[in-house]
Amino acid sequence: MSSDGFRPLDEKLLVEYLKGTPSLAAKLGSQFDKLEIKEVGDGNLNFVYIVIGSSGAVVIKQALPYIRCIGESWPMTKERAYFEATTLQDHGRLCPAHVPEVYHFDREMCLIGMRYIEPPHIILRKGLIAGIEYPLLAEHISEYLARTLFYTSLLYLTTTNHKSAVAKYCGNVELCRLTEQVVFSDPYKVSEYNRWTTPYLDADAEAVREDSILKVEVAQLKSKFCERAQALIHGDLHTGSVMVTTDSTQVIDPEFAFYGPMGFDIGAFIGNLILAYFAQDGHAEKGTDRKLYKEWILKTISDTWNLFYRKFTALWDKNKDGPGEAYLPAIYNNPELQLLVQQKYMEDLFHDSLGFGAAKMIRRIVGVAHVEDFESIKEASKRADCERKALNFAKTLLKERKKFHNISEVVAAIEHLDK
């Protein structure tokens, strides 16, 4: 046990901890000698235990004071558990249907006790690789995005409450710095951490590092990421942070949360769907060309943005006389003007989302952390073909994002490049 009260938990300590914590013990029932315990974290970042008792189950997640990426160990504040817990609570209040409930948080132990998201929930990314359709995914994620982003922005909050929340989440700077490095910096320079499907993408990776226009654009997105406290964003909303069944969608792991640009969340999700799309040809086998599945992914991309647009502006309309101070009703005082400011706001948000989404795609192909969508394509040349298409699309999207007027044009551009 370290001086600050932190102890990494093994199974034995875990059982003791559960016994001594009424809010968790109550969920599990009294038979502590019969608990079923499974460690499911990757062990590099966090411990994640599934604990199943006689009357219920919980997940225990404990942050460790480092992260490990391809063998390298980076020290990383375990305080991130605090920001993850408070975000799960804040976002959970705003969108309980799609955020797992927190039963317990222990700041000293960096430990969150939360809802066990039970089978048949799986990680969305794995579902996308398996070619499974989730008919409610766009509906659910757009609901999550609209509610969490709207209610933590100045469209709903007073500037007093907003600034106080911004100040609190400034404390999560180490996780922000990790994003700054791996998303906005490393892919655009020579870095020991970068990797790609070599030798096939060697020239492509080099082209990214030598693309001046791309680097000018990514600098602007990085500044926006660092400077613009627009809403409490999840901060890492890729398809590995979402658990799904055909009728449930649960957003997990908001340890990167802070007050940042909304487009970073929207873009992360859409960008990862586009990665999933371009990976499909690598998963196609005889008799399953994935053609219909690719269409479903494109439809889900469209639906996510369009439903988000509708839900977000509906929340705005509903709360236009609420506490939010960005657009005072006494100024934006007629329906045409209200429509005009919304259109402008949503247009900017759309372009931000495309830019951030593209940056998130690029870093998954030539940066440190790759995605299973591509990694699971065993044949390297086939994988490289898929990755190159995704990379080329992402570069265009990042550089030309302001030329797209709506999501249909984005989808059309994906289809065009995929021909």
Interaction of residue 206 with its own copies, rule CB under 8 A: no
The SS3 assignment for 58 reads strand
How far are the Cα atoms of 98, 100, 178, 323 from residue 156, in angstroms, in the given order? Answer: 20, 23, 29, 6
Pair 408, 302: CB distance under 8 Å: yes
Q: Is 217 or 385 the residue whose CB approaches its own copies more closely?
A: 217
Q: Which of 26, 122, 123, 341 binds its own copies (CB under 8 A)?
A: 341
Interaction of residue 228 with its own copies, rule CB under 8 A: yes
User: Which pair of tokens denotes residue 80?
Assistant: 């991130």
What sign does the CA torsion over 347, 348, 350, 355 have? positive
Q: Which of 52, 122, 284, 326 binds its own copies (CB under 8 A)?
A: 326
The SS3 assignment for 259 reads strand
Please state the closest distance from residue 181 (CB atom) to its own copies, in A: 9
Interaction of residue 29 with its own copies, rule CB under 8 A: no
Q: Which of 23, 30, 54, 160 binds its own copies (CB under 8 A)?
A: 160
Interaction of residue 344 with its own copies, rule CB under 8 A: yes
User: Which pair of tokens denotes residue 321?
Assistant: 């006389």
Interaction of residue 314 with its own copies, rule CB under 8 A: no
Interaction of residue 171 with its own copies, rule CB under 8 A: yes
Please state the closest distance from residue 65 (CB atom) to its own copies, in A: 17
Rounded Cα distance between 162 and 156, Å, is 9
- φ/ψ of 83, rounded to 5, equals -70, -35
Interaction of residue 78 with its own copies, rule CB under 8 A: no
Closest C-alpha to 251, from 140, 327, 392, 164: 140
Pair 302, 310: CB distance under 8 Å: no
Piece of 12-20, 167-175, 240-248, 402-410 that binds its own copies (CB under 8 A): 167-175
Q: Is 114 or 262 the residue whose CB approaches its own copies more closely?
A: 262
Tell me which H or E stretch contains 117: none
Residues contributing to the site for its own copies (CB under 8 A) = 154, 159-160, 162-164, 166-168, 170-171, 173-174, 176-177, 180, 185, 188-190, 209, 212, 215-216, 219-220, 222-223, 226-230, 325-328, 330-333, 336-337, 340-341, 344
